[in-house]
A and B are shown apart, each in its own frame.
Chain A
């Protein structure tokens, strides 16, 4: 029996739909799920999910916020759920998946298409995103100055009168 981990980075509504396709695509795999604390109870209802791991943080998945339970724990496949078609916006989860020992990594999108992603591909995407972040940071510094001044002027106008 091989080990498969699903990272629940999308809603249960999507997991509900993706799960049957994952089972079909990965027969003979024991399925585990990683979810935030508030997702544990709904996750327990799925008979096909053998084990639930709790992501022990309030914040979103991030490479710096590792899961202690996964130390030394190998998986044959790790699947990241993405709530769109391309997976854009889920770079943080993909990088988090690199903190888990896995033979193969996949994304499963909104319409249950499953495609493999390589560790090199994730890292290359990250480099590109770092460039975007640099550009966005510069733009934000300028925009935030105007925004702060604007909001401080507007604060009283939009305040609720008691």
Chain B
């Protein structure tokens, strides 16, 4: 049975004549942020210089990969809380293998494309652990299949690995483990 759901509770916020405090922008935070493509604006010049979304990713984590290159190209990514974007998603959580599969596979690829070698190996080991651990925890093969796919199709990254500056690698908040919470 479908319950009546509201997508637009955010309209009900206390947002009248609000003064926007620019201190909230992420540039002033201790860490850098990526962005969510469900509600973002990117200058065409930035895409031209830093590079577009990675076509080999197909779905998911493409913003994170692009964010590494944007920060590394000297641009910033900022959040403006006074701008509200609406992104509908299924109110009944349609089960899908695509999110856990592509998020996980592409997390490996984000790491291999963008992190300096030592960090890349460290994050790879962490991702491998997560794939095994959450496979046991959630009784699924999807993460192991995604990991196998990342290694098997590494040829798609040919000529695309360009480690970012160490400062960017250290400060960019890259939630590469978040994909393990989408399934089940």
Contacts and interface: CB of A to CB of B under 8 A. Distances in A.
A132 B157 CA distance: 32
B92 A111 contact: yes
Given A20-B6, A136-B136, A144-B124, A82 B21 contact: no
Given A20-B9, A89-B134, A111-B93, A158 B159 contact: yes
A137 B131 CA distance: 11
B75 interface: no
Contacts of B33: 38
Contact of A135 (B12, B13, B81, B132): B132
A86 interface: yes
B87 A13 contact: yes
B166 interface: no
Interface stretch (A25-33, A39-47, A96-104): A39-47
Contacts of A158: 112-113, 154, 157-161
A28 B129 CA distance: 44
Given A58-B31, A133-B133, A160 B161 contact: yes
Interface in B22-41: 24, 26, 29-31, 33, 38
A53 interface: no
Contact of A84 (B30, B31, B79, B184): B184
A67 to B, nearest CB: 17
B140 to A, nearest CB: 10
A37 B81 contact: no
Interface string A107-145: 000110000000000000000010011011101100110
20 contacts: A13-B89, A19-B9, A40-B24, A41-B79, A47-B14, A58-B30, A58-B31, A84-B183, A89-B138, A132-B133, A132-B136, A133-B133, A139-B128, A147-B124, A148-B124, A150-B151, A151-B120, A155-B117, A157-B155, A158-B112
Given A38-B26, A111-B91, A159-B161, 4 more contacts: A17-B7, A83-B181, A158-B159, A161-B159
Interface of B: 5-7, 9-10, 12-15, 21, 24, 26, 29-31, 33, 38, 79, 81, 87, 89, 91-93, 112-113, 117, 120-121, 124-125, 128-130, 132-138, 151, 154-155, 157-162, 173, 175, 177, 180-184
